[in-house]
Amino acid sequence: MTERFLRNCWYVAALDHEVARMRTLRRLILNEPVVFYRTTEGTPVALEDRCCHRQAPLSKGIVKGDDIECPYHGMRYGPNGKCVRVPGQEAIPDGARVRSYPVIERYKWIWIWMGDPERADPGLIEDFHWRDDPGWQSKGELLPLKANYRLLVENLCDLTHVPFVHPTSLNETMIDCNDEVPVKTAREGRAVRVDRWEFDVPAPSYFRAMAGMSREDRVDRWLNLVYTPPSFVRLDIGAAPAGRGAADGDRSSYPTTRNLNAITPETATSTHYFWANAINFSLEDASLMEIDFRLVHGAFLEDIDIIEAQQQNMEAGSWTRLNIAGDAGGVQAIRILDEAIAAEQG
Ligand code: FES
Ligand SMILES: [Fe+2]
């Protein structure tokens, strides 16, 4: 069965610095070839990377002014996808155009709308302000994943894998998932929330090392996770002095790390995994952001390893899925995604 993707939504297509003025970037998104470049003004452009003449990739061509020239017979296209020049003839044939996709640069990412361009409302871009908010420092990257994007959504919504996949990298430093702490999973409209609170416990090693807490400090610590479709997962992990009511009040002044995941399907079996971490403490010390980034980067390579192995097994032979208690968040997320796709495609 060919994979059906949600189309009328914004996806992250590239890191901002990947899209350059004279250098083209080709990327498959939802199985469609897209070429990115910037106009003379620096505005990002996204066009179908497939010439309407004989299907050569425009990304192998040259950016000229605001236009891009096909490498095969030199047909030239403007940022709106319309052909503006056909070598050797005056007239531009009807229908000489490639698809142009709405794009927006925001939060250090280039966002693309793969559905009906009329519906591409920039107000629908998911909130990732921690990426460029002066009250935070942040660092991210793009990781390639050779697996279906749904497996990664499920992975991020599930805390029970942490002690097994990340026994040293995350467990007991950042996330600490011992079985006794209850996790509450709830659906709120088109979002899934997974909340985990621990009260009056020793300050975790991550916050001792990163945010100046000491071994004697008692804290209330939280891990709150929100999924929104198609494939965004944002985690809020922090610790506040015990007994100050952090669970009910404003937590913005307490040391917090935000783990921000924007997952974009490349094909049915491969994924562009954009993620970043942001911290609201030690803003003057970039080396702490680097340590945090390296920690999570290493952990995500552990996730990628198991997810790619899952994908290979899923492509071999037949199988069924069994759900256990820890799947609650992931199962609800995938249900919301399926509902959104069904609503869009009828
Ligand atoms: S394939 Fe592009 S001009 Fe011929
Ligand atoms: Fe993980």
Residue 286 burial (CB count, 10 A)? 11
Site residues for ligand 1, CB cut-off 6 Å:
51, 53-54, 56, 70, 72-75
Percent of the chain with pLDDT over 90: 88
What number is the average pLDDT over the span 164-171?
85
What number is the average pLDDT over the span 151-165?
94
Strand partners, 35: 26, 47
What number is the average pLDDT over the span 181-206?
93
Question: Ligand 1 center to residue 280 CA distance, Å?
Answer: 50
Domains of the chain, by residue range, sit at 10-122, 126-345
Does residue 335 carry a pLDDT above 80?
Answer: yes
CA dist 282 and 336 (Å) reads 37
Tens of pLDDT, residues 128-153: 999 999 999 999 999 999 999 999 99
126-345 and 10-122 share a CATH fold: no
> What mean pLDDT value characterizes the chain?
95
Question: Ligand 1 center to residue 86 CA distance, Å?
Answer: 9
CA of 70, closest atom in ligand 1: 2
Task: Give the CATH number of domain 10-122; options: 3.40.190.10, 3.30.420.340, 3.40.50.12780, 2.102.10.10.
Answer: 2.102.10.10
Question: Ligand 1 center to residue 314 CA distance, Å?
Answer: 39
Q: What is the pTM of this model?
A: 0.96
Question: Ligand 2 center to residue 109 CA distance, Å?
Answer: 23
Own/partner pairs, 197-200, CB within 8 angstroms, 24+ separation:
197/221, 197/222, 197/247, 198/222, 199/242, 199/243, 199/247, 200/242, 200/243
Cβ(69)–Cβ(60) under 8 Å?
no
Helix 149-156 with 328-345: angle, nearest 10 deg: 140
CA of 75, closest atom in ligand 1: 3
Strand partners, 238: 222, 256
Of the chain, the end-to-end C-alpha distance in Å amounts to 17
CA of 56, closest atom in ligand 1: 1
E-strand ranges in the chain read 10-15, 25-29, 32-38, 44-48, 62-64, 67-69, 76-77, 83-85, 100-101, 103-106, 109-113, 137-145, 183-188, 191-202, 218-228, 232-241, 256-267, 270-279
Q: What is the pLDDT of residue 107?
A: 98
Given pLDDT bands bounded at 50, 70 and 90, which one contains residue 178?
Answer: low
User: Which ligand has the shortest distance to the CA of 155?
Assistant: 2
Nearest CA to ligand 1 atom 3: 73
User: Which ligand has the shortest distance to the CA of 89?
Assistant: 1
SS3 4: coil
Cβ(12)–Cβ(27) under 8 Å?
no
Weakest-pLDDT range from 21-30, 43-52, 199-208: 199-208
Question: Ligand 1 center to residue 52 CA distance, Å?
Answer: 7
CATH fold for domain 126-345 = Naphthalene 1,2-dioxygenase Alpha Subunit; Chain A, domain 1 (3.90.380)
Does residue 182 carry a pLDDT above 90?
Answer: no
Does residue 172 carry a pLDDT above 80?
Answer: no
Nearest CA to ligand 1 atom 4: 73
